[in-house]
Amino acid sequence: MPPSEPTAPHFRKPLLETPFHARARELSQIDQFVPWAGYNTVDVFTTVEQEYFAIRNASTLYDLTPMVKYRVAGREALEFLNRLVTRDLRKLRVGRVSYVVWCNDRGHIIDDGTVFRLAATEFRLCTAERQLDWLLDSAIGFDVEIAEVTTDIAALAVQGPTSCYILKRFGLEGVERLKVFEIGEFSVRGRPLTVSRTGFTGDLGYELWMRPADAVAIWDELMAAGRTRGLRAIGSQALNMARIEAGFLMPNIDFMNAEHTVRLGRGRSPLELGLGWLVDLDKPHFNGRRALIAERRAGSRRLLVGLDVAGNKPAHNALLYAEEAGRREVGSVTSALWSPTCKRNIALAILEAPHFAVGTTLWADIYLNRELVWERRMAKCRVVEKPFFAPERRRATPPADR
């Protein structure tokens, strides 16, 4: 039985625990857990600042076991996936990972995720939300098998400038040769381990995929290997700060699963989310292709952009206006952050045409609660290029020994 199986009846303990849960409990100082995809996971271990700075200045361990994983295999696995996602996966070589989005018939995004090509006809699809019904309906007419393997694989993200050094010390010989989006197969003291140079921090980092039975031992050995390099376990809040700096999108924060929206106009296309580079209209038919061709022809009605906001107050959920008087509403902020690394007040925002050109000046309506008194501030913002933070080290191969 995998360690993640609930020991109590499901109705008594509705959230599952990952194989790393015992370690997370030990390290959690403030008992701040949150549900994520049916698992009880750590939001913050100590303080979010401490954890955030470990991502950018040392290294971090993040338990991403709850990430939903599907095994997609069979004679037409590639054709199936290529019809599912907007990118041309025929270009994805064995041993490589691709960041993908997939759309409904209207060309609106259902979810984003990563595709691992493990063999010519075997793939792993990692998603934020459960997708089995959409995947199975997409498999009609294809010779492909799809199975959810979330509980079969434990996963850890090791991210930060010292991560490569730590993994080498841990025993991953040659891990420094892995290029971005490359997959390596390793064995450490008899334990098989798949490593991909992927992550959600925009920094140097790796993701480790292992058998649940090996999870605790690997955690302990990683912690030991990282002691001199500031390795620290982090929760989801710190990761969320890093991903905003990296300009990565979060489902249900920056966009809704289009199949879950009930109101008209709440779905978002990849073109609208600034993910046009993921859309290959020249490949054979894929879900949403006809709608996306029409959208490209007519021009998108909105665009998700980066904002540089004046002041130091994050523009959480702010409505955006074309002028300071706040008469013409042109969009809203989806994610906002005072970026400690960039020393900038940044945000991701969805803007209506034609207000999304880089350099456009807008005004954010920010509400501040100052000792229970609400104040309103119109902050000047400028549309800027993303990402906000993209250090050279994230791509360097081999990474510097730190």
Q: 85 Cβ partners below 8 Å, 6+ apart?
A: 100, 101, 102, 115, 286
| Nearest-angstrom CA–CA distance, 115 and 117 | 6
Beta bridge partner(s), residue 71 = 124, 147
Nearer to other proteins, 1 or 264 (CB): 264
In the region spanning residues 198 to 227, those forming contacts with other proteins, defined by CB under 8 A, are none
CB of 92 to other proteins, least distance (A): 18
Interface with other proteins (CB under 8 A), residue total 17
Interacting residues with other proteins between 79 and 138 (CB under 8 A): 79, 83-84, 104-105, 134, 137-138
The label of the residue with tokens 């090996």 reads 214
For 193, counting Cβ atoms within 10 Å of its Cβ (0-12 exposed, 13-18 middle, 19+ buried), the class is: buried
Which 140-169 residues touch other proteins, going by CB under 8 A?
Answer: 140-142
Question: Per CB under 8 A, which of residues 23..82 are in contact with other proteins?
Answer: 79
Q: Are 346 and 244 in contact (CB under 8 A)?
A: yes
Instruction: For the CB of residue 107, give the shortest distance to other proteins in the complex, in Å.
Output: 9
Can residue 229 be called a binding residue for other proteins (CB under 8 A)?
A: no
Q: Does 242 bind other proteins (CB under 8 A)?
A: no
Q: Please, where are the H alpha helices in 130-225?
A: 132-138, 163-170, 215-225
Query: Smallest gap, in angstroms, from Cβ of residue 281 to other proteins?
Result: 10
Whether the Cβ atoms of residue 191 and residue 211 lie closer than 8 Å to each other: yes
Q: Which region, left, alpha or beta, applies to residue 162 given φ > 0 means left and ψ of -120 to 50 means alpha?
A: alpha
Binding to other proteins by residue 385, rule CB under 8 A? no
Among 69, 289, 313, 394, binds other proteins (CB under 8 A): 289
Q: Least distance from C-beta 287 to other proteins, angstroms?
A: 5
Q: Which is nearer to other proteins, 266 or 328 (CB)?
A: 266
Chain residues binding other proteins by CB under 8 A are 79, 83-84, 104-105, 134, 137-138, 140-142, 284-285, 287-290
